Amino acid sequence: MNTILGLGFILLAGLFSARLISGIRFPAVTAYLIIGILIGSSLLKLIPVEILNASGLISNIVLGVIAFSIGQNFYRDNFRKIGKSVIWISVLEACGAWLLVTLVFLLILRQPFYISLLFGALSSATAPAATVMVIREYRAKGSFTDTLLGVVAWCLIIFAISLAISQAIYSHRLAAFFLIRVFLNSILSILGAFVSGSIIAILLSYFSRFIRTQAELLIFTLGCVLLSTGIAIWLHLSVLLANMFLGAILVNINKSSFSSFEVLKTIDSPLFLLFFVLAGANLEIGLLPQLGLIGSAYLVFRMIGKVTGARLGAHISNASNSIKKYLGLGLVPQAGVALGCALVAKSDFPNIGSMIFTTIVATTVIYELVGPLCTKYALQKAGEINIEHHQRI
């Protein structure tokens, strides 16, 4: 099969399977992953090698686009609206999962420090899609739901920072290990992303006055996101952070910038589809049996870390009882960003990437199945699902 035929096939198969699976109320992401696994390198081998080899490229682009839109959340008005508890819970649940998974991998599973750290960083991500789907499906409403949504959005920001730190440590693992040096490198990588994002945001804002049509706006915005992604890769900065800062600065300095974010939405859906199908296709099923211990440790300790961290954050910020008890469970789903980063890791570090990647995909599939149930349980316990309504459906 040639490359173009392969692309057409992937898009159509993805669309079809998403429709099929929506009948049993699963998110489209799950369908893309499953179709990817089916037609991927382990089973039917229907995806051309050229496309598989481009996985790293596609995920970098998609991550850039995702991070850029997440940057919008840094709009100054949003800071005022977001409560203290959201920030505490987001920071602590992410750190909880990160610390616990890193420590377990390092001390119990005896993995090298940098691998433990990468797993730790990946574990701090939460998938908004699954969580939001449950909230919408059951029409949940109330302060618990508000807090949960706030935390989910902020989680991504904290995830990007923790990943940048892990990458800084990874890239210096060969040098003698000095804590200060690693710390400086992390700061440098974050600052570098900030500077690069700011400069491109200022340029984008300035030159946008010459843009006349939607088509030009789309080309211009996409060009700037790719520019920022490319510069981040070139200078070894975090792609996520650089684009997040680009979006964040832009939304604060240019009042008509929301058009730039909106225009990207017109093209991102096929990119996302491709990205998830490729994530599934890259899964090496042969590796799965060996990953039993690592995978289950990751599954269990990520969950414990999130729940404990969220509970601690809720206590510190004096949140209500239901938030203290159940919010962590609502954060169990994982996908999207973690998958993308694992895909990048796979192409960047071929020797360890496969293991990380396969673990993340395998656990993502499990989390995709279990996560929504956890979220639903949490919402039910918090008393914000209208059961009567649900049963009528």
Instruction: Catalog residues that contact another protein under the rule CB under 8 A.
Output: 22, 27-29, 65-66, 69-70, 72-73, 77-78, 127-129, 132-133, 135-136, 139-141, 145-146, 149-150, 152-153, 156, 211-214, 217, 255-256, 258-259, 261, 268, 272, 335-336
> Minimum distance between the CB of residue 165 and another protein, rounded to whole angstroms?
23
Q: Smaller CB distance to another protein: residue 214 or 296?
A: 214
| Largest Cα–Cα separation, the chain | 63
> Minimum distance between the CB of residue 231 and another protein, rounded to whole angstroms?
22
Q: Smaller CB distance to another protein: residue 63 or 355?
A: 63
Q: Smaller CB distance to another protein: residue 330 or 336?
A: 336
> Minimum distance between the CB of residue 55 and another protein, rounded to whole angstroms?
18
In this structure, what token pair is assigned to residue 346? 């796979």
> Minimum distance between the CB of residue 331 and another protein, rounded to whole angstroms?
14
Q: Smaller CB distance to another protein: residue 169 or 222?
A: 222
Helix ranges (DSSP H) in the chain: 3-22, 28-39, 49-53, 55-71, 76-81, 84-103, 113-123, 128-137, 143-171, 179-207, 214-234, 239-253, 258-281, 292-316, 321-330, 337-348, 350-381, 387-392
DSSP summary character for residue 41: T
Burial of 19 (0-12, 13-18, 19+ CB in 10 A): exposed
In this structure, what token pair is assigned to residue 183? 């710390």
> Minimum distance between the CB of residue 212 and another protein, rounded to whole angstroms?
6
> Minimum distance between the CB of residue 190 and another protein, rounded to whole angstroms?
21
Q: Smaller CB distance to another protein: residue 156 or 319?
A: 156
Write out the DSSP string of 165-197.
Answer: HHHHHHHTSSS---HHHHHHHHHHHHHHHHHHH
Q: How far apart (Å, rounded) are the C-alpha atoms in residues 298 and 278?
A: 23
Q: Smaller CB distance to another protein: residue 146 or 348?
A: 146
Residue whose structure tokens are 């998958």: 339
